[in-house]
Amino acid sequence: MITAIIFIPLLGALAVWVWPQRNCRVIALIFNAISAACALGLWRKFDATGTGMQFVERHAWIPAINAEYLVGVDGLSLLLVLLTSLIVPFAFVARPTPGGRGFDATMLVMQSALYGTFTTQNFVLWFLFYEMSLIPAFLLIKIWGGENRDRAATKFFLYTFLGSVAMLLSFLGIYFAKGTFDFSALASLGKNGLLTGKLAWLAFAGIFIGLAVKVPLFPFHTWLPDAYQTAPTGVSMVLTGVLSKMGVYGFVRLLLPLFPNEIKIIGPWLLVLAVCSIVFAPLAAWAQRDLKRMVAYLSINHLGYCMLALFAVAASPTVTANIDTHAALGGVFMQIFNHGITAAALFYFVGLLEQRRGVRGISDFGGLMQRAPLLCGWMSVAIFSSLGLPGLNGFIGEFLIFKGAFAITALFTSIAVIGLLVTAIVFVRTMQSLFSGPLAESCSAFPDLLRREKLVLVPVTLLMFAIGIAPQFMFNIFNTTVVHMTRLFG
């Protein structure tokens, strides 16, 4: 089943490649739909009360180095698989003009890599998929990007690649010391200290940097605004919606279980980094004139909340598995999903504005409420969801994160609350200058939402409301995993 999910997009990429140019988007969407159906099937059969991996498939792969083909899902993996199958199709639809089959094929390869990353439980295979996502992302920015794409693509590639190399070296070190690449085996070894002395710190630093670049965590974030700004709308949606989650996923799956002692020692410093992400990113967003860049900076802020809660759970010296750690970790998972759909929606809206006017500076728009009330209304929903307004999805995740993290580290969490305020200021200011005020002259012929666009937006917005009002169905996916993991970290 999982294998099917991973390889269907790859097949799709092949099919798109050989098919005539004209219909390639339809083909791509069909393959997307099939893999999404498989993911939904996985969700239906998933036993929400079972701990440990489910649907495990294990085959020998490279026996010489103990590398197996080992895939399986728990609540977290399932959540991310669902997120991937939700966001990627939207990225296809978000593209106004066909980018040709090259674009579609590349996107499908990336999707396959994402599925792979979220389901493999063996480092070698995981790393393969992890890297496999990097190249399509690079190509998508480099070939189909906007202004400055060469520089942005190179920067993105170099940052992530250096991070990956550091991570690979660390894992080789771990392998030579312990002789296994299996995540669960490593995690159980990690409880009593995986490595000792300098080697442990080196390995920790390597993996930390690799993942921190991917998330990104302050101060490893500088590639992000460039990359997100330049990438075409659909690619930005996938980058922020799914790709950034690979980093968070890596933290939960690798770093925290493998190095509990190291994290406890430098925990406060990690928390400082997370708080910096939360506070500085929206301040930077405040200063931006370009809407897309602004949304990109706010993305850093939202993932900062995830990092804050994760580090709080893992770094606290006296932590025990209790309701607070459950809340924090549950909040992180919730936030992963919420940020995926909300940030993707925001990028989609910025894309719509850009399509209509050809520019996307904040001051290029004004008084849109008069010309395009529907667009403004739906965009406000996305903005409020990102702002964390009750009744929408963002609130649940952030509330849980703050609730849990506050119990563990009150000081850092209190400072992080500033991030909420600044985000609010940035968004309110944006809405003000975009929607209200006198109608900008250049916007006089501004079309409202088209039917095609409504079709994309209605389901996503309904999902935001559904999660905001009755989040229980989401919690059911990962509740058991949360309990299991807090025990692991505690």
- Within 375-434, which residues bind other proteins (CB under 8 A)? 384, 389-391, 395-396, 399-400, 402-403, 406-407, 410, 413-414, 417-418, 420-421, 424-425, 428-429, 432
- Interacting residues of 286 by C-beta distance below 8 A, sequence separation 6+: 422, 425, 426, 429
Q: Which one among 225, 330, 340, 351 touches other proteins, defined by CB under 8 A?
A: 330
Question: Which window, 9-17, 133-141, 270-278, 326-334, contacts other proteins (CB under 8 A)?
Answer: 326-334
Question: Which window, 144-152, 273-281, 318-326, 353-361, contacts other proteins (CB under 8 A)?
Answer: 318-326
Residue 472 interacts with other proteins (CB under 8 A): yes or no? yes
CB of 69 or CB of 475, closer to other proteins: 475
- Within 72-101, which residues bind other proteins (CB under 8 A)? none
Residue 292 interacts with other proteins (CB under 8 A): yes or no? no
Residue 34 interacts with other proteins (CB under 8 A): yes or no? no
Binding-residue pattern over the window 215 to 254 for other proteins, x denoting contact by CB under 8 A: ----------------------------------------
Shortest Å distance, C-beta 483 to other proteins: 9
How many residues at the interface with other proteins, by CB under 8 A?
Answer: 38
CB of 97 or CB of 472, closer to other proteins: 472
Shortest Å distance, C-beta 143 to other proteins: 41
CB of 177 or CB of 420, closer to other proteins: 420
Shortest Å distance, C-beta 461 to other proteins: 13
Residue 62 interacts with other proteins (CB under 8 A): yes or no? no
Residue 466 interacts with other proteins (CB under 8 A): yes or no? no
Residue 484 interacts with other proteins (CB under 8 A): yes or no? no
Shortest Å distance, C-beta 287 to other proteins: 17
CB of 52 or CB of 373, closer to other proteins: 373
In the complex, the residues that contact other proteins under the rule CB under 8 A are 323-324, 326-327, 330, 369, 373, 384, 389-391, 395-396, 399-400, 402-403, 406-407, 410, 413-414, 417-418, 420-421, 424-425, 428-429, 432, 435-437, 471-472, 475, 479
